[in-house]
Chain A
Amino acid sequence: NAGVTQTPKFQVLKTGQSMTLQCAQDMNHNSMYWYRQDPGMGLRLIYYSASEGTTDKGEVPNGYNVSRLNKREFSLRLESAAPSQTSVYFCASRSLRGADTQYFGPGTRLTVL
């Protein structure tokens, strides 16, 4: 049981390049989330998917798109990377049943030059 996995762990992009961050969970959770973490700002929600087939914007969605590919996978895409998107990105998942707890992946450290 791997929990929440994210790939890649590190990535360097040039301004204008695109990339997709991958996230998968094996806990059969319904809800999945993408956050970014910046110094002094805590974690801010980019997008979330309350259940398979639905996605919604969070606090800072501009410059990002998401795809809930199936129940396990939730990807985050940067179409045209900007230096302001340099950050650490975390994926999380949550079950609808029982304890309302989000479980986090190890993060992807992205640098945009």
Chain B
Amino acid sequence: AQSVTQPDIHITVSEGASLELRCNYSYGATPYLFWYVQSPGQGLQLLLKYFSGDTLVQGIKGFEAEFKRSQSSFNLRKPSVHWSDAAEYFCAVGSTSGTYKYIFGTGTRLKVLA
């Protein structure tokens, strides 16, 4: 069965520090992979996505993610965090056929210290 694991419920970093949010998935083939961000009281905004090709994907707001097939991972990174990055981050796996349903991870809440 498809599943997504985000092992870190909360992460705290200092402004200007680097960030890595972990995401591991279980899927029978190479899935579509997504990272979304949710600011408090808001909907979800797409940061980046991976479908095929280059395994390092660039997104909005200076984020990037790397797809590693051997580790079934799609970790999100940012070299220098800004206070405005404080939010909740969700990794998602999308079906590559049929229903196009997503499976979401449980989220990682990022706190940024000034």
Contacts and interface: CB of A to CB of B under 8 A. Distances in A.
Interface stretch (B13-21, B39-47, B60-68, B75-83): B39-47
Interface residues of A, number: 27
A43 B104 contact: yes
Interface size band for B: 20 to 34
Interface string B76-114: 000000000000001000100001111011110000000
Contact of B107 (A33, A42, A102): A42
Interface in A32-58: 33, 35, 40-45, 48, 50, 56, 58
A100 B43 contact: no
Contact of B90 (A40, A42, A105): A42
28 contacts: A33-B101, A40-B106, A42-B90, A42-B105, A42-B106, A43-B44, A43-B104, A45-B101, A48-B101, A50-B99, A50-B100, A90-B43, A92-B44, A94-B100, A99-B49, A99-B51, A100-B49, A100-B51, A100-B94, A100-B100, A101-B46, A102-B46, A102-B94, A103-B46, A104-B36, A104-B43, A104-B44, A106-B43
